[in-house]
Chain A
Amino acid sequence: MARETKEVEQRGIRSSTASGRGPVWGSVLFLSGALLLAGCPKRPEVQTGAVRAAEEKVVIGEKEIVVVEEASLNDVFFDFDKSLIRSDAKVALGNDIKWLKANAGVRIVVEGHADERGTNEYNLALGNRRVKAVRDYLVAGGINAKRISTISYGEERPFVVGHDESAWKWNRRGHFVVAK
């Protein structure tokens, strides 16, 4: 099951890269992956950190960090207008902490995202609160805070384009990007 799911996701996200990161096309393909995942109750374990990491270029402060590392970091999903770490997210973060401990040289960026509901400005602050919750959880789990950068994108970079809960639940997330 897990193997099959991952294959579908990767196909979807690779397609989005191939189509020039077209958000709509990429997410349509991704949705098919999401539907398969829906059969997997209470664990939306979308390993987006791994695949998307390969295509991102992140600028933090003055330094440009080219992201190339292949990592198995699980994203964290939230309830509407909440930054509380859910129980499914604790499972995901537990695995993330293990991986980060095993790869002690790796620095990460946590991106905070919100779904499209609510104001753009409030959602920037909400995304910020989510990344702080994720960072605090990682730090409490023994990860050095210096390895973690945070940035909020609010509702400006939806993972899945759509106007109902089937898209929104993927867009309320803490997303990991590995910085090298």
Chain B
Amino acid sequence: MNGLRRILPLALVVCGGLLAASASAQVDITVTRKIVHRIPIAVVGLRPTRMASRGPDLAAKTQSILVSDLEFSTTFEVLPPAFLPFEPREIRLGEEEKVLPSLNQLQVQAMLAVDLTKQGKELVLEGRVYNVSRGTFLGGKRYFGDAKALRTMVHRLADEVVFWLTGERGVASTRIAFATAERRTTELYLMDYDGHNAVLATGNRSINLSPRFSPDGKLLAYTSYRDGNPDLYLLNLETGKRKKVSAVPGLNISPAWSPGGRLLALSLSKGGGTNLYLMRPTGGGLRRLTNGLGISVSPSFSPNGRQIAFTSDRGGSPQVYMVEIEGTNLRRLTFDGGYNASPRWSPRGDKIAFISDRAGGGFQIYLMNPDGSGVQQITTSGSNEDPAWSPDGRHLVFTSNRSGTKDVYVMHADGSGQKRLTRNALNNFAPDWSP
């Protein structure tokens, strides 16, 4: 029975792959590889733990956050408890090595043993990771905090698990900044990468737009109308202090950080058009990058810091362009569709995400190579805008109106696993993913 459960989803996937193969061979390969790539992992431990005798089972909550984090990472396939030949929640920390041989027989590659205990008013979360086939202990960590910090503790553990088993940094501890429009105000908020714990970042009752995390995650650049003109500010996320860094009369909008954080690109409406400029985040060293009476906005630096992709209407309609940071070799990347915009270079530099109206009926998110070739569409439902990459380049956050309001969603970089994060009946948009 257990074996059947195991086989069934795989069989379905293979069937789907074969059917799709007649239409497109590429779909077949993608689907198959996705399954093969994930590391089968068993999560054991987490006997029920409550702060108060009739309180909620925090161990069950921990389990659910952990499984969600590990699955979303696209690195793991968490085995359902029913598939295991023992009751995983009965395993006590210290006894977990006993089940390694039985997991190995099932060809499970990794095991995470977790324990959540109450220590006075605090919770202690401990996790230990094993390589099942070798029977070796890879690492362990213990986290202390109150019940409010539980989500954060679990996200940290999930990121450690990703690191121990892949050597890459996970994204479970990252945050997402976004704008929420309500009546006549638009404020910026920060939330966990899974949509929980949203906190207000601005609160000046004016219009605040285009939040962009600095590469070290300490500063948030954004445009605010708090003093009447759309000026550019930096918010120090550690101290809460705000600094106005560009206040030219007119637009001071669409900031982008260079990969090292030493330059800010932005758009100013000095003179006739709206053009791209570079400046130091401290406020000086303003240098003009584009010319003309047209519009150049929404810059995005290449990971090597040498080039900037941006939106411009210099050819008559909004299209994606590229320019060297010296202002040379300006070239157009998109030609299909009447409106292509919001380019965002992936952290690895291999793709540029952007939006296009080429499919008709609003905007969809696409990926292309940095030379404009190899375009692939990754959204289809509703109208979708504002793509921004996760720091590991495995996911994108974006805005969609598919539910009736504008809301922030996440997905994997191939368009799979789309998940809505904001549900406040207001319009939520302009997301940016922290490092």
**Nearest B residue to A153, CB-CB:** B207
Q: Decide: B295 and A126 in contact? CB cutoff 8 A.
A: yes
In the complex, which residue of chain B has the Cβ closest to the Cβ of A23?
B183
Interface residues of A in 38-62 (CB under 8 A from B): 58-62
State whether A121 and B298 are in contact (beta carbons under 8 Å apart), knowing that A60-B228, A61-B229, A128-B269 are contacts in the complex. Answer: yes
State how many angstroms separate the Cβ of B299 from the closest Cβ of chain A. Answer: 10
Type the 1/0 row for B330-351, where 1 means its CB is closer than 8 Å to any CB of A. Answer: 0000000001011000000000
- Which residues of chain B (119-156) have a CB below 8 Å from chain A? none
B98 at the interface (CB under 8 A from A): no
Query: Is there an interface contact between A124 and B229, defined as CB atoms closer than 8 Å?
Result: no
Q: In the assembled complex, which residues on chain B have CB atoms less than 8 Å from the CB atom of A120?
A: 209-210, 386, 429-430
Task: Please count how many residues in chain B sit with their CB below 8 Å of the partner chain's CB atoms.
Answer: 36
Q: Which B residues are CB-close (under 8 A) to A58?
A: 228
Q: Contact between B250 and A128 (Cβ–Cβ < 8 Å)? A: yes
Asked if A103 CB lies within 8 Å of chain B CBs, one says no
Q: Is B209 a contact partner of A156 (Cβ separation < 8 A)?
A: yes
The reply to whether the CB of A81 lies closer than 8 angstroms to some CB of chain B is yes
Interface status of A87 (Cβ within 8 A of chain B) = no
**Most B CB within 10 A of own CB, among A21, A121, A156:** A121
Can you name the residue of chain A whose Cβ is closest to the Cβ of B295?
A: A125
B window 271-287: CB within 8 A of A: 272-274
Q: Would you call B317 and A151 a contact (CB within 8 A)? A: no
Contact between chains at A151 and B298 (CB < 8 Å)? no
Within 8 A of A (CB), among B217-251: 227-230, 249-251
The answer to the question of A152 belonging to the interface, with a C-beta cut-off of 8 Å to chain B, is: yes
Chain A residues near B339: list those with CB within 8 A. 81, 118
A119 partner, pick from B207, B229, B251, B342, beta carbons under 8 A: B342
User: Does B181 sit at the interface, judged by CB under 8 A?
Assistant: yes
User: Taking A23-B184, A58-B228, A152-B230 as contacts, is the C-beta distance between A122 and B311 under 8 angstroms?
Assistant: yes
Q: Which residues on the A side are within 8 Å of B160 (C-beta)?
A: none
Interface residues of A, Cβ cutoff 8 Å to B: 20-23, 58-62, 81, 118-122, 124-126, 128-129, 132, 150-153, 156-157
